[in-house]
Amino acid sequence: MSDIYTFAKELAREAGAMLEAGHGSVERGDVGYKGWRNLVTQLDTQVEAHVAGRIEAVFPDHGILAEEGVAKEGSGPYRWVIDPLDGTTNYVHRHPFYCVSIAVYERETPLVGVIYAPKLGEFYCCHRGQGAELNGRRIQVSQETDLGRSLLASGFAYGKGAPEDRNLDNWARLSIVSRGLRRCGSAALDLAYVADGRYDGFWELSLNPWDVAAGALLVQEAGGTVTDCRGGDTYHDGLSIAATNGAIHSGLLEQLVNV
């Protein structure tokens, strides 16, 4: 596993360098659409192809699941879950809150999580059972116990209309009972911020496995709690996820409806 962990971090650095080199060069009109407002750029696909190609060359028996279409069944127990650019809309608008997210599973168990935000200079990584780090420094979730003093984050799906918009009620409710809400446009980085104690909690609906795979493990390795929004363990698919410091978890779940 140490070889896989080292290689995952190397890949994230390479992918981040590609994104950083292209930041500011993508014109708003030069994008594709996977949905009403779900953008994709050439860099999304180029970075994904680069990462997938490197994995296939070094670990040919490993499986791959990636956002822009790469899907490979491996002959061994390991599977890479990749988001080459989480926060594409931010990236297109020259907003710095974007990242590359890479996770490695052994069958159904997450073992490695790496999130690199090149414009922010933040490199998060974790290896199951070994804790979580930011730029080589050990991190942990916050110690806040009161939802009313908590800073929370969430987001909204790219679809238009029900059921994607059902999170608006949760947003309105939690804006009143918490200290504040943030909506910055990258679920992977939101999860990393929970791991680092910047946010006390995060929830979102209608995501995908590559949005949450690395970040969920980061939160757990930093001492936090991750479930689906009903308190179950189906969060790996991204359709419903709640991540907190643990102390406010039940309080957050009590506020969530239609999840």
Supply the range of the domain harboring residue 73. 2-139
What pLDDT does 62 receive?
A: 97
Check whether residue 154 and residue 135 sit in a common domain.
no
Question: What CATH number has the domain bearing residue 92?
Answer: 3.30.540.10
From 84, 110, 139, give the residue that closes a domain. 139
**What are the residues whose beta carbons fall under 8 Å from the beta carbon of 236, sequence distance 6 or more?**
108, 110, 209, 212, 213, 216
Cβ-based burial of 108 (10 A; exposed 0-12, middle 13-18, buried ≥19): exposed
pLDDT tens, 74-121? Answer: 899 999 999 999 998 899 888 999 999 999 999 999 999 999 999 999
Tokens of 187: 């679920």
What pLDDT does 69 receive?
A: 79
Structural domain count of the chain: 2
pLDDT tens, 90-99? Answer: 998 889 999 9
Residue % of the chain over a pLDDT of 90:
79
Within its chain, how far is the Cα of 114 from the centroid? 10
Over residues 234-257, mean pLDDT: 97
Check whether residue 108 and residue 193 sit in a common domain.
no
Question: What CATH number has the domain bearing residue 237?
Answer: 3.40.190.80
Spatial separation of the C-alpha atoms in residues 175 and 23, rounded to whole Å: 32
Tokens of 251: 């309080």
Check whether residue 68 and residue 160 sit in a common domain.
no
Over residues 217-232, mean pLDDT: 98
Check whether residue 81 and residue 118 sit in a common domain.
yes
* Average confidence score pLDDT of the chain: 91
Check whether residue 151 and residue 221 sit in a common domain.
yes
Check whether residue 66 and residue 151 sit in a common domain.
no
Inter-residue contact 65 to 210 (CB < 8 Å): yes
Check whether residue 165 and residue 98 sit in a common domain.
no
Q: Is the model's pLDDT at 48 over the cut of 70?
A: yes
